Structure 1
Amino acid sequence: MRIIIIKGVILLNTYSIYPIKIEFARRYYYRSDILYRFLKQYHENNKNQLINDQFNEITCVFSTKELNTKIKSLYNKNAMVKDGNNSIEIVQDKHYISLHISEKQINFRCNMLQDAEMLLFPILQLFHPSLFVLDNKLNNYGWISPVTKLKDHLNEQILYSTL
């Protein structure tokens, strides 16, 4: 487990997860670099109406209430779960993850991505089949869930990106 402590403050890795509509997941499964650049540009310039509209078109909505309920029920006796307004903390054995859930994305912090793979990803896969995750500090990104039947859209590209 890698924990970074600077002046008494523990620094955790920060990630974001986006539920991508299946038709766009199929188009961009093997072109995740395009999707990554688009999401990064969206966060840098979400006042741009074209980019904002495209973001809303390709992403789905997380049901925060349903997700909270599912996490509490699945980790009822096996882990400690703290629930707040659109935030959840899960502690199980030596694994820790902190979630902030919004309508179109989940931001989470953990010591290592393996904590999310163990505590979070299996639950999220119950809600949506195509989830895209990115590291908010590094250029690390990828799909959580595999997408099938991808060859139909290999030559299509519709996202606008200036990066």
Structure 2
Amino acid sequence: MRIIKTKGVILLNTYSIYSIKSEFAERYYYRSDILYRFFKQYHENSKNKVIEDQFKEITSFFSTKELNTKIKTLYNNKAIVKDGNNSIEIEQDKYYISLHISEKQIEFRCDMLQDAEMLLFPILQLFHPSLFVLDNNLNNYGWISPVIKLKDHLNEQVLYSTL
């Protein structure tokens, strides 16, 4: 595990995840660098009306209630799930993830991205087919890809990422 400690406080890696509408996911699936730059610009200039409108146009909503229900149903007694107004914490075995859910973004913290791959991504993919993730501290980003059909590799999971 890669846990960073500063003055007795444990710092977890912070990531953001966005649900991209299918028409834009198809258009930008192999151009993820454009999406990354757009999200970075959005966070730096969120008061810019044009950028804000574009952000609203390409992203889908996250439902805190729906996510809470799915997590509790799927993890039942297999994990510790703590939920707040717009936050959820999941702990199972050695994995831990903390989520803060807003309408168009989930910000999550975990020790390693593997925690999110185990605890969060499979659940999100049940109702959000096109998910884009970026590391808030580094220049890392990528798709949590849906099942895609390729000539030689039918129905395999593919993850395009620089993480």
Query: Who is 1:16 aligned against?
Result: 16
Query: Who is 1:157 aligned against?
Result: none
Q: For the residues of structure 2 that align with 1:149 and 1:44, how far apart are their CA atoms?
A: 36
Report the Cα offset of residue 76 of structure 1. 1.2
Q: Percent identity?
A: 85
Q: For the residues of structure 2 that align with 1:148 and 1:23, how far apart are their CA atoms?
A: 15
What are the superposed Cα offsets for residues 20-43 of structure 1, whole Å, 9 maximum, x if unpaired?
000000111110000000001001
Q: For the residues of structure 1 that align with 2:47 and 2:7, how far apart are their CA atoms?
A: 36
Query: Who is 1:100 aligned against?
Result: 100
Q: Secondary structure at the match of 1:30?
A: coil
Q: For the residues of structure 2 that align with 1:144 and 1:53, how far apart are their CA atoms?
A: 24
CA RMSD of aligned residues (A): 1.3
Which range moved further: 107-116 or 61-70?
A: 61-70
Q: Are the equivalent residues in 1 in contact too, given 2:125–2:146 (CA < 8 A)?
A: no
Report the Cα offset of residue 68 of structure 1. 0.7
2:71 alignment partner AA: I
Counterparts of residues 4-153 of structure 1 (less than 5 Å)? 4-146=4-146, 148=148
Report the Cα offset of residue 64 of structure 1. 1.1
Q: For the residues of structure 2 that align with 1:34 and 1:148, how far apart are their CA atoms?
A: 21
| Bigger RCO of structures 1 and 2 (CA < 8 A, at least 6 apart) | 1
Q: For the residues of structure 1 that align with 2:56 and 2:4, how far apart are their CA atoms?
A: 35
Question: Normalising to structure 2: TM-score of the pair?
Answer: 0.89
Aligned length: 150
Give 5+ residue unaligned stretches, structure 2.
Answer: 151-163
Question: Normalising to structure 1: TM-score of the pair?
Answer: 0.89
